[in-house]
Chains A and B, each alone.
Chain A
Amino acid sequence: MSQGVIDGGLKPPAFPALARALDNRLVLSAIFMFPALSILLVFLTYPLGLGVWMGFTDARVGRPGEFIGLENYVSLFQDSVFLLSVFNTLVYTAIATVLKFGLGLWLALLLNNALPFKAIIRAVVLLPYIVPTVLSAIAFWWIYDPQFSIVSWALKQFGLIDRYIDFLGEPWNARWSVIVANVWRGIPFVAICLLAGLQTISPSLYEAAALDGANAWQRFRHVTVPMLMPILSVVLTFSVLFTFTDFQLIYAITRGGPLNSTHLMATLAFQRAIPGGQMGEGAAIAVAMIPFLVAATLFSYYGLQRRKWQQGESND
C-alpha cells in the first residue's frame, strides 16, 4: 500500500490526516499495543502500584489512609511476629523447593522411560495439582490431626509409637508438616514441566554419548542436565514464586499457628490487613515480599541460564 495518492478510479481517503497517521509505523504500533498495554496497566501495574503506595500509608480496610512514610516498615522490623514470618517463609520456600525439584526431576525421569499405560500414569501424576488446594489442605489437616491422624493411627497399630504424633502442635513439627503438604502438591507441576523438557532432548545426543562410552550418570550429567537447564530455570522461577507466596495450605491447616511458627508473609499480610483491618500494614508486609521474589527470579534467570541465547542473545 502506498502513500494514499490514488489514481485509477480509487477514491481519495475521507480523512487524509488519519490515513497518513495510520501509515506511520510508530502510531500504528502504539495502536496495536494499546489493548495489551491497557490490560497490563489496569490489572498489573495499577494494583501493584496501589499496594506499594498503601504500604506507605495508615490505610484501614475501606478507608484510604494518610502518607506516613516508612513508619509501617520501621514498625514491622521491630515486630517479632513479622520477623518470624520472614524466617518461616524462607525456610518453607527453600526446603520445599529443593524437595520438589529433587523428587519432581526423579519422577520426570521415570515417566520419560517407556512405561505401559503411559498416558494414564501421567494423568494420575497430575492429580495432586488438579485437586483444588483448599480441598487437599483440608485432607492434610485431617492427616495431621492430633486426635484423628491416620498416620499416627497406623503407626500405633503397628506398635511403632505409643502416643499420637503432635504434627501441628510443635513449631518444627508443624513447619515440616506444611512443607510436606506443599511438596506433595507441587511435585506434579515440576515433574510434568520437566518431562516436557526431557522429551525435547534428541535421542541422537544420548546415542552419541553412549558411543563415546558415557555411563548412565555421565549421560545424565552431561546431556540431560545441560539440555534441561533452560526449562529448569523457568520452572524453578515459577515454583519459587508459588511457594513463597503460598497462602491456602497454611490458612486451612494451621492459620499460622502454633505460636505463629507457620505464619508465612502472605498469611500474616492477610491476617493483619483483612480480619485485623490494618490495610497499610498488610500492604507493607506484601510489599516486603517483593525484594525476595525479585532476587529469586534474578538468581534463576542469570544464575542458571548461562548460555547466551537463553538470555535473549544469539548463541555464538
Chain B
Amino acid sequence: MTKITRRDAIRTGATLLAAPAILTYSLRSEAQELALEAEKGATLRVLRPSKFVQGDENLWLANTEKFSKQFGIPVKVESEGWEDLRPKSAVAANVGRGPDIVYGWHDDAHQYPEKLANLSDVATYLDKKYGGFYDVCKKYGMRRGQWISVPLGAAGSKMVYRASWLKEAGHTAFPKDLPGFLKVCQDLKRINKPAGMALGNAVGDANGWCHWIVWAHGGRMVDDKDRVVINSAETIKALDYVRELYQTFVPGTLSWLDPSNNKAFLDGQLSLTNNGISVYYAAKNSTDATVKAMAEDIQHADYPVGPVGKPTELNLIVNAMLFRYSKFPKAAKKYIAFMMEKEQYEPWQEASIGYFSQPLREYEKSKIWTSDPKHTPYRGTLSNMLWSGYGGSPGYASAAVLADFIMVNMVAAAASGAKSSRDAAAEAQKRAERYYKI
C-alpha cells in the first residue's frame, strides 16, 4: 500500500487546483495560434504606402523576407505614393486584378467591401492575443459584424511646442482644455512667439486639427444615421472659438500646406503647431547646431479635450485589405497576421521611430514609447482618435467629404472672417449634403 505523505497530498491538491488553470491556458494558447495552411505554391503581391522614414521600409522588407523564408512563400512588396494609393487600390478592387494585399487609407475598405475577403479570423486572433483593438479600429475594420480590413497603425499628430517659450509666456504645463489652449496661444502671441496651424488644403495637418476642434465642441458632419448635421449650434460654437484662436496665429496659415508648419517651426518662427513626430526628428538629426539644440526644447502633447469630455483627434490610419480575387487568401492572411506579431511589429515600430502608432493595446508597451519621453504622447494616437465620417459610417461619402476639404474650408472661412460662423456652417452643410444625398 502506498503511503500517502503530507507532501504528496499537497502536491496532488495543488495539481488538482491548477488543473483548470492549465486547461484554460492550453485552450487559450490554442486560440492564440492562427491555424492557416497556406496554399501550395502561393506567391503574394503587397502594395503599401511609400515610406515615412527609411527605417519603416527597411524593416518592412526585412520582416517580409523573414516571412518568405519561414513559410516558403515569395512576396513582392510594392510601394505607392500617398495620393496614388487610393485610386490604385480602388481600380485593383474593381478590375479584379492586382496586389493580393493593399495597405490602404482611412475608409478605403468601406468603398468596396464586397470585393474584400473576410478577415475576421485574423482580426479576432490578433485582438485576443494582443490586448484588443482600440474602438476606432473596429469602426474602420468592421462592417456588419465582419472584419474587412485589419488596421496596421496610424501616423499620429500631436501638439508640438517649444517648452521654453511656453514658460516664457507664463505656462509650465500644456493645457488640457480649450479655454486653457486659447489662453496659451494668446500669451504666446503676446510675447511675439505665435502659434499656427494649417488652414490651406493640407491633407494631413489641416484635416487633423479642423476635425478635432469641431468634434471637441460636439459638432460633427453626420449623425449615426448618416444625416448631415454639421450646421449645428455646437459647430457654430467651435467656429466662434476658432475665430478667436486664429487671431493668435502667425500670418499666412490660410495658405499653409502640409510642409509649411514644419518649415516655420524649424526656422524658429513658430512656437506651437500640430504635427507628426517629424518636426522633432528633423531637429534631432539636423546638422545645423541651432536646429539641433531646438530638439531639446521641443515637446509633444495631446490635443486638448473640449466640452464633449473625450479626445477627438483624427489621424491618418492604414488598414490591410485582402482582395477576394487573390488566389492565395490563406497565405495572404498569414502574411497580414505575421506582420502584426510581436516579433515583427515591435522592431518595425521601433524602426519607424514613432511615426506609426499601434492599433493593438499590447504594443503600448513597445520600447519606442518610453525610450525617449518625447515619443510618449504619440503612443495614444489610436485611443484618442475618432474616424473619418464620425459620427456616421465610413464609406464613399465620408471619403469624398474629407477629400473635398469641406471641414477645413468651413473652419478656414470662419477663422479668417471670410464668412460668419453661421454662414460657414450653412455652406458646409450644403456641400456635404451633395455627397450624403438627402
Contact residues of A with B, CB < 8 Å? 60-64, 75, 78-81, 144-148, 163-164, 166-171, 174, 254-260, 271-272, 274-278
B43 to chain A, nearest CB (A): 24
> Are the C-beta atoms of B86 and A274 separated by less than 8 Å?
yes
Contact A274-B87, Cβ < 8 Å, known A79-B431, A255-B201: yes
In the complex, how many residues of chain B place their beta carbon closer than 8 angstroms to a beta carbon of chain A?
A: 44
Q: Which chain A residue lies CB-closest to B112?
A: A63
> Are the C-beta atoms of A254 and B201 separated by less than 8 Å?
yes
B299 to chain A, nearest CB (A): 22
Q: Which chain A residue lies CB-closest to B111?
A: A277
Q: Is B120 located at the chain interface by the 8 A CB criterion?
A: no
Interface 9-mer from B177-185, B220-228, B411-419: B411-419
> Are the C-beta atoms of B403 and A61 separated by less than 8 Å?
no
Q: Is B75 located at the chain interface by the 8 A CB criterion?
A: no
Q: Which residues of B lie under 8 Å from residue A61 when comparing CB positions?
A: 86-87, 90-91
Known contacts A257-B200, A277-B87, then 19 further A-B pairs from the complex at CB < 8 Å, ordered by chain A residue? A61-B87, A61-B91, A62-B87, A62-B92, A80-B427, A81-B404, A146-B253, A147-B260, A147-B263, A147-B264, A163-B251, A167-B255, A255-B202, A257-B199, A257-B412, A272-B400, A272-B403, A274-B86, A278-B396
> Are the C-beta atoms of A272 and B404 separated by less than 8 Å?
yes
> Are the C-beta atoms of A276 and B399 separated by less than 8 Å?
yes
Q: Which residues of A lie under 8 Å from residue B434 when comparing CB positions?
A: 75, 78-79
> Are the C-beta atoms of A275 and B200 separated by less than 8 Å?
no
The complex places the Cα of A8 from the Cα of B116 at a distance, in Å, of: 74
> Are the C-beta atoms of A255 and B430 separated by less than 8 Å?
no
Q: Which residues of A lie under 8 Å from residue B427 when comparing CB positions?
A: 80
Contact A277-B86, Cβ < 8 Å, known A75-B434, A255-B200, A257-B201: yes
CB < 8 Å: which of B91, B95, B253, B260 contacts A145? B260
Q: Which residues of A lie under 8 Å from residue B269 when comparing CB positions?
A: 147
| Cβ contacts B374-410/A at 8 Å (1 or 0 each) | 0000000000000000000000100110011000010
The complex places the Cα of A147 from the Cα of B418 at a distance, in Å, of: 22
CB < 8 Å: which of A64, A80, A163, A169 contacts B431? A80
> Are the C-beta atoms of B409 and A260 separated by less than 8 Å?
yes
| Cβ contacts B180-202/A at 8 Å (1 or 0 each) | 00000000000000000001111
Q: Which residues of B lie under 8 Å from residue A170 when comparing CB positions?
A: 254
The complex places the Cα of A256 from the Cα of B267 at a distance, in Å, of: 26
Q: Which chain A residue lies CB-closest to B269?
A: A147
Q: Is B24 located at the chain interface by the 8 A CB criterion?
A: no
Q: Is B339 located at the chain interface by the 8 A CB criterion?
A: no
Q: Which residues of B lie under 8 Å from residue A79 when comparing CB positions?
A: 431, 434
Contact residues of B with A, CB < 8 Å? 83, 86-87, 90-95, 111-112, 199-203, 250-257, 260, 263-264, 267, 269, 396, 399-400, 403-404, 409, 412-413, 416, 418, 427, 430-431, 434-435
The complex places the Cα of A62 from the Cα of B199 at a distance, in Å, of: 31
> Are the C-beta atoms of A259 and B91 separated by less than 8 Å?
no
> Are the C-beta atoms of A146 and B90 separated by less than 8 Å?
no
Q: Which residues of A lie under 8 Å from residue B252 when comparing CB positions?
A: 145-147, 164, 166, 168-169
The complex places the Cα of A163 from the Cα of B396 at a distance, in Å, of: 44
In the A-B complex, list the 4 residue pairs whose CB atoms are closest, starting with the nearest.
Answer: A146-B252, A168-B255, A276-B403, A62-B94
The complex places the Cα of A276 from the Cα of B108 at a distance, in Å, of: 11
The complex places the Cα of A81 from the Cα of B401 at a distance, in Å, of: 13
> Are the C-beta atoms of B267 and A147 separated by less than 8 Å?
yes
Q: Which residues of B lie under 8 Å from residue A148 when comparing CB positions?
A: 263, 267
Contact A255-B257, Cβ < 8 Å, known A62-B93, A271-B403: yes
- 29 A-B residue pairs with Cβ-Cβ distance under 8 Å, sorted by A, are A62-B87, A62-B93, A63-B112, A64-B94, A80-B431, A81-B409, A144-B255, A146-B255, A146-B256, A147-B264, A164-B251, A169-B255, A254-B201, A255-B202, A256-B201, A257-B199, A257-B255, A258-B199, A258-B255, A258-B416, A259-B409, A259-B412, A271-B403, A274-B83, A274-B87, A277-B87, A277-B111, A277-B399, A278-B396
> Are the C-beta atoms of A62 and B431 separated by less than 8 Å?
no
The complex places the Cα of A232 from the Cα of B437 at a distance, in Å, of: 48
The complex places the Cα of A63 from the Cα of B112 at a distance, in Å, of: 9
Contact A278-B400, Cβ < 8 Å, known A174-B255, A255-B257: yes
Q: Which residues of B lie under 8 Å from residue A278 when comparing CB positions?
A: 396, 400, 435
> Are the C-beta atoms of A271 and B111 separated by less than 8 Å?
no
The complex places the Cα of A58 from the Cα of B239 at a distance, in Å, of: 33
Contact A258-B251, Cβ < 8 Å, known A63-B90, A276-B403: no
Q: Which residues of B lie under 8 Å from residue A171 when comparing CB positions?
A: 418
> Are the C-beta atoms of B253 and A169 separated by less than 8 Å?
yes
B19 to chain A, nearest CB (A): 56
The complex places the Cα of A278 from the Cα of B400 at a distance, in Å, of: 7
The complex places the Cα of A259 from the Cα of B263 at a distance, in Å, of: 22
> Are the C-beta atoms of A277 and B91 separated by less than 8 Å?
no
The complex places the Cα of A272 from the Cα of B200 at a distance, in Å, of: 17
A259 to chain B, nearest CB (A): 6
Q: Which residues of A lie under 8 Å from residue B91 when comparing CB positions?
A: 61-62
Contact A257-B90, Cβ < 8 Å, known A145-B263, A271-B403, A276-B399: no
Contact A258-B400, Cβ < 8 Å, known A146-B255, A169-B255, A174-B255: no
A82 to chain B, nearest CB (A): 10
CB < 8 Å: which of A60, A62, A80, A164 contacts B95? A62
Q: Which residues of A lie under 8 Å from residue B83 when comparing CB positions?
A: 274-275
Q: Which residues of A lie under 8 Å from residue B263 when comparing CB positions?
A: 145, 147-148
Contact A257-B94, Cβ < 8 Å, known A148-B267, A272-B404: no
Q: Which chain B residue lies CB-closest to A141?
A: B257
Q: Which residues of A lie under 8 Å from residue B267 when comparing CB positions?
A: 147-148
Q: Which residues of B lie under 8 Å from residue A60 when comparing CB positions?
A: 90, 111, 396
Q: Most chain-B Cβ atoms within 10 A of its Cβ — which of A79, A81, A144, A169?
A: A169
Q: Which residues of A lie under 8 Å from residue B430 when comparing CB positions?
A: 80
B290 to chain A, nearest CB (A): 16
> Are the C-beta atoms of A258 and B404 separated by less than 8 Å?
no
> Are the C-beta atoms of A259 and B251 separated by less than 8 Å?
no
> Are the C-beta atoms of B404 and A259 separated by less than 8 Å?
no
Contact A257-B251, Cβ < 8 Å, known A61-B90, A271-B403, A275-B86: no
CB < 8 Å: which of A254, A271, A275, A276 contacts B255? A254
A81 to chain B, nearest CB (A): 7
> Are the C-beta atoms of B250 and A271 separated by less than 8 Å?
no
> Are the C-beta atoms of A259 and B90 separated by less than 8 Å?
no
> Are the C-beta atoms of B250 and A147 separated by less than 8 Å?
yes
